[in-house]
Amino acid sequence: MRRYWQRIEERLAELLIHTSGISAVIFVFAILFFVLREGWPGLASGAVDLGQMLFSGDWRPTSPEGARYGTLALVVGTFSVTVVAMAIAVPLSLGAALFLSEFAPPAWRETLKVLIEILAAIPSVVWGFIGLMVMNPLIVQFTGAAIGLNVLNGGIILALMSAPIITSLSEDALKAVPDSYREAALAMGATQWQTAWRVLLPTARKGLAGAALLGLGRAVGESMAVLMATGHSVRYPNGLLDSVRTLTATIAAELGESAVGSEHYRALFLVGAQLLVITFAINWVASRLVRGGTK
């Protein structure tokens, strides 16, 4: 009898774990299904032209001469801000992670980790506010730009937002390198720095790449902060000091006031689908790279 109950328990536990395991997959597909269900009629009815959407930069959803839904400028805007963010965040976070896991005295480490967690908990609207009220005048003052709401501002804000994630995940990856590696390197006469640079970083590269990519995902998907910090202007940027508009900010700004089921509403859901495809592509390329990098 007791054995019978044990078996049932076992089964239940298995089922529970199994369900939680596949729930992530179910959610991803449910989201994809929902976004496409809302967006698809726009394409099917011909209201949104796919070619125009992908290859034109003309985003005029309420034009009296006929709405146009070209998203190329928005895609370029998203990527320009993200690239700047990663160029700042990745080296900064790797350095921080190395310091935390290899060089920092234990007392420092604990304090710094708590501080980094606090940084990760700041809501995105607050970051947007910092972009608008603090960074905007600073950028105008130091670069002489006409307006401080631009690619640079958005990039810095996104870098600050994704740095905590990249740092703590990179630290985990470095911590996961067995101590025997460190001991072996030190025994061969390598300095602590040489050990970190030549042994730890190459060994942990898979985890580090994963950390950077999760940070990238955060940056591409962020909306409120970039809406406030980038100037929200549909255009191809010529440099760091030009305003841009991102895919996410467009959805955030326009979905609230577009009538449910209207052409504009459908087009915004198609922008959402586009965003999903972009993040899937990034993850796919990333996992290929990570796998190709290990033997």
Contact positions vs other proteins (CB under 8 A): 58, 60-65, 136-137, 140, 146-149, 227, 231-235, 243, 245, 253-254, 256-259, 264
For other proteins, the closer CB: 51 or 256: 256
Cβ 237 to other proteins, closest distance in Å? 10
Nearer to other proteins by Cβ, of 79 and 99: the residue is: 79
State which residue, 171 or 242, has the beta carbon closest to other proteins.
242
Q: Give me the least distance between CB of 239 and other proteins, in Å please.
A: 13
Q: Which is nearer to other proteins, 60 or 288 (CB)?
A: 60
Q: Which two tokens mark 248?
A: 């996410």
Judge residue 200's burial from the number of C-beta atoms within 10 Å of its C-beta, 0-12 exposed, 13-18 middle, 19 or more buried. Answer: buried
Beta carbons within 8 Å of 131's beta carbon, 6+ residues apart: 149, 153, 154, 156, 157, 225, 228, 229
CA distance 245 to 77: 5
What the block records as the tokens of 263 is: 């052409």
**Cβ-contact 265, 251 below 8 angstroms:** no
Q: How far is the CB of 271 from other proteins (least distance, A)?
A: 14
Q: Which C-beta is closer to other proteins: that of 168 or that of 230? A: 230
CB of 223 to other proteins, least distance (A): 12
Q: Is there a contact between 237 and 57 (Cβ–Cβ < 8 Å)?
A: no
Task: Output DSSP code: residue 102.
Answer: I
Least separation in angstroms between residue 2's CB and other proteins is 59
